[in-house]
Amino acid sequence: MNSGKDTSAIPSPLVGKPAPDFALPVLGEPDRIVRNADLLGAPYLLNVWGSWCPACRDEHPVITRLAESGVIKVVGYDYKDTTEDAQRWLQQFGNPYDLVITDEEGRAALDWGIYGAPETFLVDAQGVIRWKHVGPVTDEVVDAQLLPLIEDLR
C-alpha cells in the first residue's frame, strides 16, 4: 500500500536533465537497435508498459487516443517482458506506438529511474526529460498536465 500518498507526484531527479543513454532493440527485431540519439529532433512520449501489468491495460486506451490524435510521437518501452507476450498483448489490445523498444532484463530502466509499469516520460526535441508520471495516465492527466506541456514544446 502507498499509505494514501499520491505516488504519481513523486518528483523525478531526471526532469530537466538529458534522457539517459540507451541502446535497446525494437520489439520483434532484435538486430535493430534504437539509441536515445535516434529519437532527437521531435518531442516524444516514452510509455513504459508490460503485458504482465494490469494497470497498463487500464491506461492503454488513453495512450491509444493520445497517439491517434497525432499531437506527439509515442514510443512504447516494453519492460521486463518476453517478445512473445508483448506481441500477443499488442495484437489483443492494439499497437498505438510509433516504435516499441524492449528491455527484457530491465537494465536500461535503472538509468531512467523506472520502478515498474506504467510510467510515462515526456522528452523534448533536444532529448531533455520534461515530465514523468508514475502509474496509469488518465484522460484527466492528459488534459491537465500533458497537453499543456506538449503545447509549450511547440
Q: What is the pLDDT of residues 22-48, one digit of tens each?
A: 999 999 999 999 999 999 999 999 999
Taking the CA of residue 61 as centre, how many other CA atoms within 13 Å lie in the half-sphere pointing to its CB? 3
Position 102 scores a pLDDT of 97
Mean pLDDT (the chain) is 91
- What is the mean pLDDT of the segment spanning 100-114? 93
Position 14 scores a pLDDT of 85
Given a contact cutoff of 8 angstroms between Cβ atoms, the answer to whether 19 and 36 are in contact is: yes
Position 4 scores a pLDDT of 42
Q: Check whether 139 has a pLDDT greater than 60.
A: yes
Position 115 scores a pLDDT of 86
Position 11 scores a pLDDT of 62
